[in-house]
Structure 1
Amino acid sequence: MRPPLTRRGFLAAGSGLTAATALPALSGCSALVAADSDPDTLVVHSQLGTTAPGSPTYLASLDRFRRENPGLKVKNLVNGDDLAQVYETSRLARKEPDVVMVNLYDKTLAWTDVGATVDVKDYLDDWGLRERVLPVALDAWTDGEGRLRAFPYFATNWPVAYNRALLDKAGVDEIPVTGDQLIAAARRLRAKGIGPVTTGGNDWTGQKLLAQIIQTFLTEDEARHVYSTGDFSGSRGAKDGIEYFVELRDAGVFVDKAQGLTSDSMTTQFNTGAAAIQSAMSSALAKVPESLARHTDVAGWPLAEGAAHDRPTILRTYTLIGFWISPNGTKKIDAIEKFLRFMYRPDTVSRFIKESGRDMALRSDTVSTDFPLVAAAQRLGDDVSQVLLPDVYVPPTATQPLITATSTSFTRGTGAAKVRAALEAAYRSA
């Protein structure tokens, strides 16, 4: 895996990179055509445009923007999970797109610091868009130097979805709120041949659930320290959280072979009724079939005795997708202003909520009426306690090693000490 950009690495790579060496590296990706010098063509690089949640609404919005701005063309480049890598390669070749739509995670944490993207704070204020953004989202996108990395856009709630019909079939009368109740429910579900909690133990979904469970005994400040430093052994709360996770895992709470599953496996198991429970962000909740959503409840993750929280926990983040401006984009800033004013318009934002079930980092009174589980997650309020999403605190070079450590952690029989060692090793490899 190529390491994330650092100022030294970025400059070193850029100094020896010529068009002859850069273009072959780009030949398999859409960023090859990103270097459009036409001032009337805005180049946007996004994960929206194929099967990603919100893609149809995004493409329809682009068509509407083009109709309203006939003299301005928009070229939409699409990549999936490799978007950050593709963008970095195009930036090194000075052929990067003008706007990038991606989340604040892993490689992107370093972009503004190394000049791969620009601070957008002044643009936000000059264009009068600050009041459109939720204050908590602005805080999340602002780095330690006070720079606003991107224009916030998508957010997400991340509760736990419970299939009531399967719980009823197994004789589980109530949604579990304690670890003991969850273990008892898992045993009853297994006795009926139903998988209990499904999760992608081999990717980011399992990583986030593990982090959520570890935080059972951590305050927000303690969690921030643990995930910034990787010191899982020096924190009593982190050690207790890992022991709680191991207790749940070895009691059979997670589906068999969870350590090899992915987010797609998790979604399939839940949506087909093979498993009764999943930790699901908004985009996954939006995919739950209507027939299943009618008998699905959303709630928090059950607590253990002595927890630092007084209510079951959920994750929540406002950094799912933002609009980043590249150095090339500053040459077309008038076009970008038109584009972002359009994307921030209340009617455009409402379409994402109504048509795609997206949570937004912007102010809106629109409710996801066609996505009842997304709306239910928005209404959880004080019924749950929010724990820290560690993405912006984990060093970028530890992100992928942490997923490997997550798979190890979900392997039944791995003791708490070995789980701690695996998590800490991910930071040492950074």
Structure 2
Amino acid sequence: MRPPLSRRGLLAAGSGLAAATALPALSGCSALAAEDSDPHTLVIHSQLGTTAPGSPTYLAALRRFRAENPGLKVKNLINGDDLAQVYETSRLARKEPDVVMVNLYDKTLAWTDVGATVDVKGYLDDWGLRERVLPVALKSWTDGKGRLRAFPYFATNWPIAYNTALLERAGVDGIPRTGDALIGAARKLRAKGIGPVTTGGNDWTGQKLLAQIIQTFLTEDEAEHVFATGDFSGSRGARQGIDYFVELRDAGVFVDKAQGLTSDSMTTQFNTGSAAIESAMSSALAEVPEKVARRTEVGGWPLAPGAVHDKPTILRTYTLIGLWISPNGAKKIEAVEKFVRFMYRPDTVSRFIKESGRDMALRTDTVSTGFPLVAAAQRLGGRVSQALLPDVYVPPAATQPLITATSTSFTRGTGAAKVRAALEAAYRGA
């Protein structure tokens, strides 16, 4: 069981930012002292609102919500990757916002367990919203004690995008479905001065692709165990998966210096045509320029002989963004209910799909017609197999060290034993 929420524990688990630097990052934080207990003010803290995909739709939704609820003041706070740290600092001061919109990952995994947010299962049922949510999303957001951490909202498909124009230019006949075909395609692409697979080897995008490749020889149950414990050496399937990754890496499948790239570098290389292949979640697929999207197909990651999967793999997750309720929000539950119901309304959900190309964790018949690659990923169905997204299994304390281990893993010449050792080292102290 995790220790109680405390200033020492929270800041020690954070990114190393001191409270003095975290507090100013919370836009409008100085006003919270007067507003956090005001029943007529709803304070929402979100990663949406700047350049994040879906931000314009979200801000427009807030304007509609305000117009429909003139007696309720809505304060919108925005943070990026530091949202969890900023929220925790505000919670320590008991000045936290009422609703938090963030994904289930890293530090947020512990929030409900330590009382930083509340179990929303009762609210979901009392408000009659259970049928609005996909059952797989409810399962993903429910912890081991049966608590629903947040109201599920955004989901994502995470296929492999292939620029067929670049493949054809290099003389590659079709999308590779096996490791040998991928290695052959990479050689032909390089001969034409085209980067093969681009990935953010120095951030979460590379971490997810590495985890996906490792699962080539792992069943779902085995993958859950490996990513929960960090036992990459004790699992035969994990050892085989790492060997496969190293074989692909040293054969030149990944672009040069992938270990230093980020998600921004990756999307830039693919969107400008300097690389032919990327592992792209829905939000990245929605940003592919039209002229590139017209010659792009989505599929799965090629398999090696003996793989446990019978089709190339993709990732899917239903935990991209949820609507979390804080202890302060529980004191203003009528206002929170209005906001959650508004966000769950079919018309609000449809606008995120149509205007922003977002995948949703909610039931809907709306399709991303304006975002053809997102729609294509939704239609992959049984043509691909699904690998496990490790986020909810990796201990929070191991999440950031795994990024460093990922960079080491993408460094050409690093042997499989050193890759395993780097990954396992990330779990020490977790």
TM-score of the superposed pair, with normalisation by structure 2 = 0.96
- 1:268-300 superposed Cα distances (whole Å, 9 cap, x missing partner): 000000100000000000000111100100000
Which segment drifts farther, 38-47 or 129-138?
Answer: 38-47
Cα offset for 1:38?
2.0
- 1:129-151 superposed Cα distances (whole Å, 9 cap, x missing partner): 00000000000000000000000
Paired position in structure 2 for 1:154: 154
Q: SS of the residue aligned with 2:253?
A: coil
- Name the CA distance, whole Å, in 2 between partners of 1:347 and 1:416: 50
Cα offset for 1:25?
4.8
Alpha carbons of structure 1 residues 250 and 12: separation in structure 2 relative to 1, 3 Å: closer
Alpha carbons of structure 1 residues 31 and 371: separation in structure 2 relative to 1, 3 Å: same
Cα offset for 1:180?
0.2
1:31–1:87 contact (8 Å) kept in structure 2: no
1:215–1:387 contact (8 Å) kept in structure 2: yes
2:5–2:115 contact (8 Å) kept in structure 1: no
- Name the CA distance, whole Å, in 2 between partners of 1:142 and 1:9: 20
Question: Which 5+ residue runs of structure 1 have no aligned equivalent?
Answer: 15-20
Alpha carbons of structure 1 residues 24 and 176: separation in structure 2 relative to 1, 3 Å: closer
Is 1:83 paired with 2:83? yes
Cα offset for 1:27?
2.4
Alpha carbons of structure 1 residues 205 and 185: separation in structure 2 relative to 1, 3 Å: same
- Name the CA distance, whole Å, in 2 between partners of 1:148 and 1:34: 27
Which segment drifts farther, 32-41 or 66-75?
Answer: 32-41
Cα offset for 1:13?
6.0
- Name the CA distance, whole Å, in 2 between partners of 1:117 and 1:31: 21
Paired position in structure 2 for 1:26: 23
Question: Which residues of 2 match residues 42-57 of structure 1 at below 5 A?
Answer: 42-57=42-57
- Name the CA distance, whole Å, in 2 between partners of 1:356 and 1:133: 20
- Name the CA distance, whole Å, in 2 between partners of 1:22 and 1:198: 37
Paired position in structure 2 for 1:407: 407
Q: SS of the residue aligned with 1:162?
A: strand
1:10–1:114 contact (8 Å) kept in structure 2: no
Quick one: which of 7, 10, 35 aligns to 2:3? Answer: 7
Cα offset for 1:428?
1.0
Paired position in structure 1 for 2:13: none
2:22–2:86 contact (8 Å) kept in structure 1: no
Alpha carbons of structure 1 residues 251 and 25: separation in structure 2 relative to 1, 3 Å: closer
Alpha carbons of structure 1 residues 286 and 225: separation in structure 2 relative to 1, 3 Å: same
Paired position in structure 1 for 2:14: none
1:13–1:92 contact (8 Å) kept in structure 2: no
Paired position in structure 2 for 1:349: 349
1:22–1:93 contact (8 Å) kept in structure 2: no
CA root-mean-square deviation: 1.4
2:5–2:114 contact (8 Å) kept in structure 1: no
Paired position in structure 1 for 2:202: 202
- Name the CA distance, whole Å, in 2 between partners of 1:49 and 1:309: 39
- Name the CA distance, whole Å, in 2 between partners of 1:297 and 1:215: 23
2:25–2:86 contact (8 Å) kept in structure 1: no
Question: Which 5+ residue runs of structure 2 have no aligned equivalent?
Answer: 11-17
- Name the CA distance, whole Å, in 2 between partners of 1:46 and 1:6: 26
Question: Which residues of 2 match residues 65-144 of structure 1 at below 5 A?
Answer: 65-144=65-144
Is 1:251 paired with 2:251? yes
Amino acid at match of 1:7: P
Amino acid at match of 1:88: E
- Name the CA distance, whole Å, in 1 between partners of 2:9 and 2:332: 26
Which segment drifts farther, 111-120 or 24-33?
Answer: 24-33
Paired position in structure 2 for 1:189: 189
- Name the CA distance, whole Å, in 2 between partners of 1:112 and 1:178: 42
Paired position in structure 2 for 1:278: 278
Q: SS of the residue aligned with 1:339?
A: helix
Cα offset for 1:204?
0.1
Paired position in structure 1 for 2:314: 314
Paired position in structure 2 for 1:17: none
- 1:409-430 superposed Cα distances (whole Å, 9 cap, x missing partner): 0000000000000000000142
1:124–1:130 contact (8 Å) kept in structure 2: yes
Question: Which residues of 2 match residues 202-281 of structure 1 at below 5 A?
Answer: 202-281=202-281
Alpha carbons of structure 1 residues 188 and 222: separation in structure 2 relative to 1, 3 Å: same
Q: SS of the residue aligned with 1:273?
A: coil
Cα offset for 1:73?
1.5
Cα offset for 1:10?
1.9
* Aligned-residue identity in percent: 84
- Name the CA distance, whole Å, in 2 between partners of 1:260 and 1:39: 48
Q: SS of the residue aligned with 2:319?
A: strand
1:201–1:260 contact (8 Å) kept in structure 2: yes
- 1:217-273 superposed Cα distances (whole Å, 9 cap, x missing partner): 000000000000000000000000000000000000000000000000000000000
Cα offset for 1:69?
0.9
Q: SS of the residue aligned with 1:7?
A: coil
1:202–1:404 contact (8 Å) kept in structure 2: yes
1:137–1:152 contact (8 Å) kept in structure 2: yes
Count of aligned residue pairs for this structure pair: 420
2:162–2:296 contact (8 Å) kept in structure 1: yes
TM-score of the superposed pair, with normalisation by structure 1 = 0.96
Amino acid at match of 2:235: S
Cα offset for 1:23?
6.8
1:353–1:366 contact (8 Å) kept in structure 2: yes
- 1:374-421 superposed Cα distances (whole Å, 9 cap, x missing partner): 000000000000010000000000000000000000000000000000
- 1:142-188 superposed Cα distances (whole Å, 9 cap, x missing partner): 00000000000000000000000000000011100000000000000
1:101–1:323 contact (8 Å) kept in structure 2: yes
Q: SS of the residue aligned with 2:332?
A: helix
- Name the CA distance, whole Å, in 1 between partners of 2:83 and 2:164: 38
- Name the CA distance, whole Å, in 2 between partners of 1:400 and 1:332: 34
